[in-house]
Amino acid sequence: MLGGTSGAVRRVSELYDGIDAPVVACGIASAELIKYASNAFLATKISFANEIASLCDRLDADVDMVMHGVGLDRRIGPAFLKAGIGYGGSCFPKDTKALDYLSSINGYDFHLLKAVIEVNAGQRRLPIMVLRDALGDLRGSQVAVAGLSFKPNTDDTRETPAVEIIATLLADGAVVRGYDPAGRLVFEGESFEQVPTLAEAVSDARAVVVATEWPEIAAADWLTPIASMHEPRLVFDGRNCVDGDSVRDAGGVYVGVGRR
């Protein structure tokens, strides 16, 4: 234990008796920064992987292989090095912005953190740019968004990339169907419908955006869904979780993040 041994510290520490976890006693400011800095660092790893993915697209490299190799360095580790359409949820977006704000009001310009936030915002625009390039004018085009929660095995849709992606698609005039095993989204008065199965979401769509790596999506047999789609039968894999060869073998067009 570091720091003081006041009664309050001792009583809180006793709650962890029998648990194999270190206890750090520190001041309020340090405790707050530990929490913010931890999440900001993990967000930084994600954004770094996404920047490398953009470079991979330009060099004909595979970001999955690159990050696998990087993660083998025990000083770095493999966690949070998976490229995709960025982080979401209740912690990373809030804590990175809070740490940036805390820095600014105390006279410090946190350049690195600002870049992390900027990179994450840019990742959410990737599928939109790909769809605009492949489909042209999106007005009237049916698009499926597979995965609405910010990560698998949760119904939490706070700050999920799917929200921004769907909102932009709707603004472009697309007709959007969404699918998620647990998460729920509502866009009042818009051309959005959430359906109970992946097959229903994909049927008659020209493109699919995979926004969450649910097992139900990643391990899906894409043969029948691709057959139910219209040209160009594009699958934008925003989590690099789908087997691209299975999509291509089914007659679809596969685009991943840094997998070109």
**What is the total count of domains within the chain?**
2
Classify residue 260: in a domain, yes or no: no
Same domain, 152 and 249: yes
* Residue 193 φ then ψ, to 5°: -140, 130
Classify residue 145: in a domain, yes or no: yes
Per-residue model confidence as pLDDT tens digits over 137-193: 999 999 999 999 999 999 999 999 999 999 999 999 999 999 999 999 998 878 999
Same domain, 196 and 134: yes
Would you state the structure tokens that stand for residue 27, as one six-digit string? 């001041």
Residues serving a catalytic function are 91
Per-residue model confidence as pLDDT tens digits over 14-41: 999 999 988 888 888 999 999 999 999 9
Predicted structure pTM score: 0.90
Classify residue 13: in a domain, yes or no: no
Which string of b and e fits 158-197 if b means at least 16 CB within 10 Å? ebbbbbbbbebbbebebbbbbbbbebebeeeeeebebeee
Q: In the block, which residue shows the tokens 């292989």?
A: 65
Structural domain of 65: 30-123
Classify residue 15: in a domain, yes or no: no
Same domain, 146 and 234: yes
Q: Can you say how many angstroms the Cα of residue 164 is from the centroid of all Cα atoms in its chain?
A: 11
Beta strands in the chain (DSSP E): 142-146, 175-179, 192-194, 207-210, 234-237, 253-255
Give the model's pLDDT for residue 260: 74
State what percent of residues in the chain have pLDDT above 90.
87
Q: In the block, which residue shows the tokens 């520190």?
A: 26
Same domain, 225 and 137: yes
Give the model's pLDDT for residue 8: 85
Measuring CA to CA, which residue among 140, 151, 154 is closest to residue 207?
140
Same domain, 112 and 194: no
Q: Decide which of 79, 108, 123 is a domain's last residue.
A: 123
- Distance, CA of 207 to CA of 25 (rounded, Å): 52
Per-residue model confidence as pLDDT tens digits over 179-199: 999 999 998 878 999 999 999
- Cβ neighbours of 216 (radius 10 Å): 15
The predicted model gives 86-107 an average pLDDT of 96
